[in-house]
Structure 1
């Protein structure tokens, strides 16, 4: 008999490297996305969409939309914990979030209590790379994804809504 699967995904841990620091002295925006990419890879491994699956089926998960929120600066050497929440899955797509936290200890597996320093919400499609189009998840993977579905955090599903004046537009005469 196999071991029961966890009811949530494990935290991913990373430490901010010197080359991730930009000219402003904090983690550059590209590296937030890199760390979120590592978290997506970890989620794929946990749900059965790992390298062996990709090699045997020719299928993978493709990100088609992402909304990143940069909420606080992150310094060199900071220990990060990334929490992944599955928000929904159907035949061919998955919606999930990653929340990035600065933590005291890299090995701490409990959910961080502090506010996240960044978040992302992702919509991904299950793609048959040989056919070049979406394809349904195998039942066991779709079931695993749906078993992991959690209540969305309050910020999920929002769009960019700040009204910005466009000074480059000519004023009407």
Structure 2
């Protein structure tokens, strides 16, 4: 059996991510707190990226995918909104929505929330590219992965869309 065939068989045993996907609860690390006494802006991205990595495992595009199929994903664009401060000791959880996809891209939206109180701290809207790592070029998803992604997009389309999707950076209109 080829590596791709073995990966495809293994993929069939992995359940699809729920709609929407909810990450594990994460803790703020002390070195992430800046001189303002709150989470430094860079670490919001770290936590949202960790949540995406958790979901990528269920999509079948995690580290094993890179090793076996020599493909991965790269973030091409990211828009983060900082809504409420997070502090040391605050448990957080990220909700991930897969909004759209095509043969080479994934459009996602993440909400970082306080894990026990539920309030929204930040959002991140992303465009992710599928990469052929042997050539380091954008490439189409394999058919089995594309089918899984389409199933998740369809599932996520059934839940209400969070506020903030499609926002742009601009001065407020007067």
TM-score by length of 2: 0.82
Q: Give 1:28's aligned residue.
A: 40
Map of 1:61-80 to 2, 5 A cutoff?
61-80=73-92
- Number of equivalences: 156
> Aligned-residue CA RMSD in angstroms?
2.0
Any runs of at least 4 consecutive aligned residues in structure 1 with deviations exceeding 6 A, and if so which?
none
What's 1:144 paired with? 148
1:37-52 alignment runs, 5 A limit = 37-52=49-64
CA distance in 2, matches of 1:49, 1:64: 17
Contact 1:36 1:98 in 2 (8 A): yes
What is residue 155 of structure 1 aligned with on the other side? 164
Aligned residues of 1:12 and 1:83 also touching (Cα < 8 A): no
Mapped to 2, the partners of 1:55 and 1:3 lie a distance apart of 17
**Cα distance, 1:91–1:3 mapped onto 2, change above 3 Å:** closer
Looking at structure 2, the residues matched to 68 and 4 of structure 1 have their Cα atoms a distance apart, in angstroms, of 29
Structure 2 distance, partners of 1:22, 1:7, is 34
Please give the residue correspondences for 1:79-158 in structure 2 after superposition, counting only pairs within 5 Å. 79-104=91-116, 114-149=118-153, 150-151=156-157, 152-158=161-167
- TM-score, normalised to structure 1's length? 0.82
- Structure 2 partner of 1:169: none
Unaligned runs of 5+ in 2: 1-11
| Distance in structure 2 (CA, Å) of the matches to 1:3 and 1:125 | 22
| Structure 1 unaligned spans of 5+ | 105-111, 165-173
Deviation string for 1:37-58 (max 9, x for gaps)? 1112112111000211111111
